Structure 1
Amino acid sequence: MSQAENSQPKDQLEHVESIGVEQPQAPDVAANPVPKGDQAIQLIEIAGGSITLTPENNKRVLRKIDLRLLPILLSIYFLQQLDKSTLSYASVFGLVEKAHLHGSMYSWLGSVVYVAQLVFQPLVAYLLVRVPLGKFMAVSVLLWGIALSCMTAAETFAGLMVCRLFLGIFEAGIAPAFIAVTQIWYRRREQPVRLGSWYAMNGVVNMFGSLITYGLGHIKSSILEPYQIIFLFFGLITVGISGAVLVFMPDSPITAKFLDDEDKLVAIERLRMNQQGIESHEWKWEHVKEACLDLKSWLWFSLMVSISIPSGGITTFGPLIVESFGFSSLNTILLNVPFGVVQLIATMGGAWLATALGKKAPVLALLCIPPIAGCIMLLKIPHDDAHKGPLLVGYYIISVYPGITPLIYSWSAGNTAGETKKKVTTGILLVGQCVGNIIGPTLYTTEEKPLYRRGLTADLALFCVLVALIGLNAAYLFFLNKKHEKQRVAMGKEAKIVDYSMHAVGAIIEDKEGLPVQQVVQDNAFKDLTDMKNEDFVYVY
């Protein structure tokens, strides 16, 4: 958690629900120029100073933000996961046979999306700094919808590969953009649940996507195969949604039209104690260097590789694994619904628990245990009619794993500062995810049906590796907090500071005389400093 609990005795901590803490006046920009810096500090200067953040105005503005952003984010991510899942749905409706897929062809149709995303992550990181965020997302949705629609006409492995390649290119920026949205709109305390909410669309897709696909699979057409109807239906819906994203998705709190001038200042003050900045369109190569040399970046990378290999394999081969238990094609689709329910509960439950504890490492380790048990069950239980039930239980237990990825997202997002560094670190994180998702499906082949022993054994080992990596990362973040404490002491500051970004608004600390301690330390929040360069930054483990 933050260092708040260590900064004062517990009996001095009290929650005040109606007292806002006065923020410092806007800095003298002439005396402390911030050329091409964070635009938040420029807005504060224009307004003549910052605004008092109270529980009341914080709740009001947070509600406005949630009502505008979450429906858009949830819709986009639902469609992205649904569009990627169309391949696995199509596999049980004749795609493998009609397109004459054999050997590793089907596996590579799953992996090529992530090859494209891996290659394009550097460009995505640059564009997310330089291009308005809302417009970037709208164009991405439009282009991937077109790519999916074109899969309707693809009848060979080569045609499908080309369409899947472009699908990966145009989807490459969605997850990084969503992480950026979470960083520039939400306090660190709020980030796990918001990240978890859009990532939980994986579970919703497995629930409702399966039901929709079940219905589409019953359509009789003399022109289109059932799997072609699936591609066309979801592709055209995605194209339509892109228009709504263009109209309603704001670029940042600073330019958002749905917030008035006062609300914009409140939105900025909400994020002050994140010490991460909000928006700067300046690309800084020193941030790139620090991100690449930061051990944290490669720990995030390793965590994402370790979870994405199982995720990629199970996402692509999940319906085929269930079908191998002895179920029909249509029943296989229906039996994917409980898989989605477990995903949804695990994702939102993990996010809620991480918020309640203020720590992510123990929750992540806890989420690794059920998939370990599920893999063992599928490897040990005989695959025959008498054991269909236990095999399904093992498969459903494995489906807890989607709760891990969004917590890694939020762990990284909450521990990185500096506009360019945030985007580059997210890029490294997503490269790790792409590498894992490329490798994952290749560990499974249709020839290994029904046991899929190689893939499940690899997944079991990687869930165990994840637990070790989580512990290592938590230890390193603890070390970095101690290092910043020494830096603050050397600069004449208090060693312990309160991380209010992890507190409910209204929570204050009283000093020995019973007076409220100022929430804001030295105003480094909007100077576009990296977490390593900002001695006031508190790492959350």
Structure 2
Amino acid sequence: MSHETEAAQTKRQQEEFVESIEADTAQQLPRTHHEEPREDKALQLIEDAGHSTILTPENNARVLRKIDLRLLPILLGIYFLQQLDKSTLSYASVFGIIEKAHLHGQQYSWLGSVVYVAQLVAQPLVAYILVKMPLGKFLAVSTLLWGITLSCMTAANSFAGLMVCRLLLGAFEAGVAPAFIAVTQMWYRRREQPVRLGSWYAMNGVVNMFGSLITYGLGHIKSSVFAPYQIIFLFFGLLTVGFSTVVLVFMPDSPVRAKFLHEDDKLVAIERFLTQLVLGIESHQWKWEHVKEACLDFKSWLWFALMFSISIPSGGITTFGPLIVKAFGFDEFNTILLNIPFGAVQLVATMGGAWLATALKMKGPVLVLLCLPPIAGCVMLLRIAHDAAHKAPLLVGYYIISVYPGITPLIYSWSAGNTAGETKKKVTTGILIVGQCVGNIIGPNLYTTAEAPLYRRGLLSNLAMFCALVFLSLLNMGYLFFLNKQHEKQRVTLGKNAKVVDHSMHAIGATVADKEDMPVPRMAEDNAFRDLTDWKNEDFVYVY
């Protein structure tokens, strides 16, 4: 078949598809005389344009490049500042905030945990707001408010004052990770999600590298007005406030509303999602049946358990990491500098894990692999004597623990790629973030300054959680396999092919032979704009 003939046939099929979607949707969503807008904004755009488009490797690459160049700098900037702002407490601990604010007992631990208490309480409201409010505006407002809060921490010089500021900081940051997951689901195909989620989460490593360098410089500033840790709070707070303006001006709300995309590019952005059996692009209807399904879905609670298990060590090490290094026998400035390799390992592990998950088209096995170095690192810190003669192996153990940040974005993308339905996606993400918050609340409280330098209870609990992650990952893979088998049976009952090609896990431009081996059922396309959940869409393919 010639290229021209194939292209003409593809165009004709897509025109027929748009006509069928319009007819089917018209039946399902009857209109009044005053014509109410479509449930999904993407379908509305196709109807307004009067045609769809043909997706090719060339126009897909061009539009994806535009999306990356606009979204990624903003997302990376927001997450860099969020992690930097949360890390200021651990930097401040090295520069004397514990002594200056007269913190004792578990007070410093609670300053680390209270951020996640606020995020935990805020999650139901965040899930609702993310369905109803444009994502770009939401992120701009959140960034502004937490920047102002961090700046105000400069004036806090007691446990009560610091506690209030950290509580507000957590509340205003509560929607960042859920919004980022929603942005990734809205703009990127499932094949593309691990690297994009990994890229912004890799800012943890960048923060530990460049944040440590910046803090090292700020710590040398001599001031008769501000203590070094107050300068750290003020500098990073004002930087965040300034960046919120950039977010407001340049962050788009959705592909349909993106001003940086021409109309044809928007149609390409929509067409990218018709290949992956997922549901819709933008809908602002809150559906209680989706909420019920998310709560009854066993995998929602597996995501919760996975995120809870990784967040316990994450919360503890984030808060106490510099103190652990300082306990090896280093002064405050060397402690800050020695945190840079920790960040470098984080960066490599996060991006390496995302790349491997994309190459294998599987996340579960990669997640298990990433658990092994932290298990070894915990054992090293528990077994090696904490004295001057063993500084080097202790640092090695600490550094290989830092592979753990590569796990969290894989859980994010694993959940995002296996959930459909606009409201269900937001609620499932909320459940996942609740697990993250609970783990981060518990994590710092398993460490205490009184246990320095061994921090045995904290390290033992971290070791147990990394082992639990291995088990939970294997369990989740088995459950997803079971769900795929259930959908195959449903397709056969409806007279469809049992097997469906999940094009979302393959590059655009698969060979004609590949497509002919197992064509995408027409109903898979019909379901694309109906905002069905993954349970209700029998053509949905779960990814391991």
Give the TM interval when normalised to the shorter protein: over 0.9
- Detail structure 1 runs of 4+ shifted over 6 Å in the superposition: 17-20
Q: How does 1:417-496 map to 2 (within 5 A)?
A: 417-496=420-499
1:104 matches 2:109: no
Q: Per-residue deviation at 1:304?
A: 0.4
Q: How does 1:133-282 map to 2 (within 5 A)?
A: 133-274=135-276, 275-282=278-285
- Code of the residue aligned with 2:432 in structure 1: it is L
Shift of the 487–380 alpha-carbon distance from structure 1 to 2, 3 Å rule, reads: same
Equivalent position to 2:539, from 528, 532, 536:
536
Q: Per-residue deviation at 1:515?
A: 8.7
Q: Deviations over 1:402-430 (max 9, x none)?
A: 00000000000000000000000000000
Find the aligned partners of 1:329 and 1:372 in 2 and give their Cα distance: 27
Q: Deviations over 1:44-66 (max 9, x none)?
A: 11122321101011000000000
1:325 matches 2:328: yes
Give the gaps of 5 or more residues in structure 1: 1-16
Shift of the 20–388 alpha-carbon distance from structure 1 to 2, 3 Å rule, reads: farther
Find the aligned partners of 1:38 and 1:354 in 2 and give their Cα distance: 30
1:338 matches 2:357: no
Find the aligned partners of 2:413 and 2:165 in 1 and give their Cα distance: 31
- Code of the residue aligned with 1:283 in structure 2: it is W
Q: Per-residue deviation at 1:25?
A: 2.3
Equivalent position to 1:413, from 412, 416, 421:
416
- Code of the residue aligned with 2:168 in structure 1: it is F
Q: Per-residue deviation at 1:511?
A: 7.7
Give the structure 1 partner of residue 133 of structure 2: 131
Q: Per-residue deviation at 1:273?
A: 2.8
Find the aligned partners of 1:18 and 1:48 in 2 and give their Cα distance: 19
Find the aligned partners of 1:256 and 1:285 in 2 and give their Cα distance: 29
The number of residue pairs the alignment matches comes to 524
Structure showing the higher helix proportion among its residues: 2
1:287 matches 2:280: no
Task: With a CA cutoff of 8 Å and minimum separation of 6, indicate the structure with the bigger relative contact order.
Answer: 1
Partner of 2:340: helix, strand, or coil?
helix
Q: Per-residue deviation at 1:510?
A: 2.6
Q: Per-residue deviation at 1:539?
A: 0.2
Determine if contact 2:147/2:241 at 8 Å carries over to the other structure. Answer: yes
Find the aligned partners of 1:50 and 1:88 in 2 and give their Cα distance: 52
Give the structure 1 partner of residue 390 of structure 2: 387
Find the aligned partners of 2:77 and 2:142 in 1 and give their Cα distance: 14
Q: Per-residue deviation at 1:42?
A: 1.4
Partner of 1:271: helix, strand, or coil?
helix
Give the structure 1 partner of residue 29 of structure 2: 33
Find the aligned partners of 1:537 and 1:187 in 2 and give their Cα distance: 14
Partner of 2:27: helix, strand, or coil?
coil
Q: Deviations over 1:471-508 (max 9, x none)?
A: 00000000000000000000110000100011100014
Give the structure 2 partner of residue 49 of structure 1: 51
Find the aligned partners of 2:495 and 2:438 in 1 and give their Cα distance: 45
Give the structure 2 partner of residue 94 of structure 1: 96
Note the aligned Cα RMSD (angstroms): 1.7
Give the structure 2 partner of residue 368 of structure 1: 371
Determine if contact 1:19/1:54 at 8 Å carries over to the other structure. Answer: no
Find the aligned partners of 2:232 and 2:274 in 1 and give their Cα distance: 46
Equivalent position to 2:399, from 379, 396, 400:
396
Q: Per-residue deviation at 1:329?
A: 0.5
Q: Deviations over 1:52-104 (max 9, x none)?
A: 10101100000000000000000000000000000000000010000000100
Q: Per-residue deviation at 1:174?
A: 0.3
Partner of 1:101: helix, strand, or coil?
coil
Q: Deviations over 1:410-462 (max 9, x none)?
A: 00000000000000000000000000000000000000000000000000011
Determine if contact 1:138/1:245 at 8 Å carries over to the other structure. Answer: yes
Find the aligned partners of 2:8 and 2:163 in 1 and give their Cα distance: 59
Determine if contact 1:319/1:332 at 8 Å carries over to the other structure. Answer: yes
Give the gaps of 5 or more residues in structure 2: 1-5, 31-36
